[in-house]
Amino acid sequence: MNRSLLTFVLLITAASCVDRVNFDPPLPAAFAVVIDGFISDQPGPYEVRISKAFDIQSKTSIKQMVNVASISISDNVGNTEELVRVQNGIYRTSSNGIQGTVGRAYKLKIGMLDGRVYESEPDTLFPGGTVDSVYHEFVSSKDLEGKTNYDFDMYFNSTTGSLNHHTFLWKMVGTYQVDTNPEAFKVSCGEAKCPAPLSCSSYTLQNGQLEYYKPCDCCTCWVNIYNDLPLVSDDQLALNGRFTKVKAGKVPLTQWTFMYKVHLEIQQFSLSPQAFTFWRGIKAQKMATNSLFQPLTGKIIGNFHQLSGVEGPVEGIFYASSIKTKSIFIQRSDVPNEGLIPKQSLPFEDSCLTFGNSTNIQPDFWR
């Protein structure tokens, strides 16, 4: 009986399928210039990155940075500062230069090498309120295979600072330390694996033996994790100017995240209406992904317009924001049972810099 039933069900379920569809849309006549930057009430320097949009069909999404002829930030009270190129497509203000002030409006003007000039709409810097507390809850969940996973769900409470203004963007930045063993790196030599310590490690190979020759540059790193979605404020979460128990994201319990501890910072960015609309658009697009009912997400409206030159598309935003932060450490002892922390069975024989969003420079807060 079950056999025949299975036939029926397979007939039904096997009938459906999901496959890639190639629309082969024509490439746009020109790829948009993408401008990404902000100014805040925190001391500078501030960074503006200029790149080009890329073909979504391409298999590699390497961001092509774009150099410009001139770039300046100005406010509505007559202050202007030219930014200086620090890398291809990356421009900075000076550390003691212009700084955002609540109530003022800021705009960015860019002159491209081909003569085009873009300018952002003035963006007003609204008060930032405060992040009052950051806290976590240890939770477990089962995946579709039935395996139990453990995480720390991160929450915060914050205050808007003004009952009339409650458009915010929150970022969660988690940092954890990882130790790896790049000196144990091996390469294929015939059918076997031969030691080949990485040059960034402390050791070199001498006569088949590892010999210490310098401090390691890639044995210890600090890895950043971010929230997947831009977390923008929702009016429904605001009550009398307070946001309570807003979920910022999660920190998974893995062999790496809790080698030592996790630093977690909540950054609260005040947003102007136009910046809020921009970030909300990104959030909507991210949320729509994978939905079978095909929510149609459209264009994300930035705040740049072209002043002169041959017409060319532009994307991105330059906004002004008051930033408030609060951070905590989550210790291994916060895990209800340390036995739940996965053990590392073998050393990781590679550079710690192979972790995404990692750096070998110890952050100040880690000391």
Q: Is 138 in the site for other proteins (CB under 8 A)?
A: no
| Token pair for 304 | 């740049």
Of residues 199 and 357, the one with the C-beta less far from other proteins: 357
Query: Residues touching other proteins: how many (CB under 8 A)?
Result: 74
Over the Cα atoms of the chain, what is R_g? Answer: 25
Q: Decide if residue 114 touches other proteins (CB under 8 A).
A: no
Q: Does 290 bind other proteins (CB under 8 A)?
A: yes
183 burial (CB, 10 Å; 0-12 / 13-18 / 19+) is: buried
Looking at residue 165, what DSSP letter applies? B
Does residue 148 touch other proteins according to CB under 8 A? no
Query: Looking at 92, 107, 109, 280, which residue binds other proteins (CB under 8 A)?
Result: 280
DSSP notation for 85-152: EEETTEEE--TTS----TT-EEEEEEEETTS-EEEEPPEE-----EEEEEEEEEEEEE-TTS-EEEEE
Grouping H, G, I as helix, E, B as strand and the rest as coil, residue 9 is helix
Identify residues 203-242 at the interface with other proteins (CB under 8 A). 226, 230, 235-237
Alpha-carbon gap, residue 115 to 309, rounded angstroms: 5
Nearer CB in complex with other proteins: 299/343: 299
Please say which residue, 76 or 149, places its beta carbon nearer to other proteins.
Answer: 149
Question: Of these, 29, 56, 77, 163, which contacts other proteins (CB under 8 A)?
Answer: 56
User: Could you say whether residue 121 binds other proteins (CB under 8 A)?
Assistant: no
Q: Which residues contact 302 (CB under 8 A, 6 or more apart)?
A: 35, 278, 314, 315, 316, 317
User: CB-wise, 126 or 348, nearer to other proteins?
Assistant: 126
Among 242, 247, 261, 326, binds other proteins (CB under 8 A): 247
Phi-psi region of 58 (alpha: psi -120 to 50; beta: other; left: phi over 0): beta
Q: Smaller CB distance to other proteins: residue 5 or 346?
A: 5
Smallest distance from the beta carbon of 76 to other proteins, in angstroms?
Answer: 19
Asked if 13 interacts with other proteins (CB under 8 A), we say: yes
* Of positions 146, 190, 215, 339, contacts other proteins by CB under 8 A: 146
The yes or no reply on residue 333 touching other proteins (CB under 8 A) is no
Nearer to other proteins, 7 or 209 (CB): 7
One-letter amino acid at 29 equals A
Q: Which of 78, 293, 311, 364 binds other proteins (CB under 8 A)?
A: 293
Does 147 engage in binding with other proteins (CB under 8 A)? no
- Enumerate the H helices of 201-351 as residue ranges: 273-288
277 near other proteins (CB under 8 A): yes
Nearer to other proteins, 77 or 292 (CB): 292
- Compute CA distances 218 → 28, 81, 101, 199, 356, whole Å: 42, 37, 40, 9, 13
**Pick from 41, 46, 51, 355: which binds other proteins (CB under 8 A)?**
51
* Binds other proteins by CB under 8 A, chosen from 297, 306, 325, 360: 297
Distance CA 347, CA 195 (A): 14
Task: Please say which residue, 131 or 275, places its beta carbon nearer to other proteins.
Answer: 275
Contact between 193 and other proteins per CB under 8 A: no
- Contact between 256 and other proteins by CB under 8 A: the answer reads no
Closest CA to 275 of 283, 267, 266, 265: 283
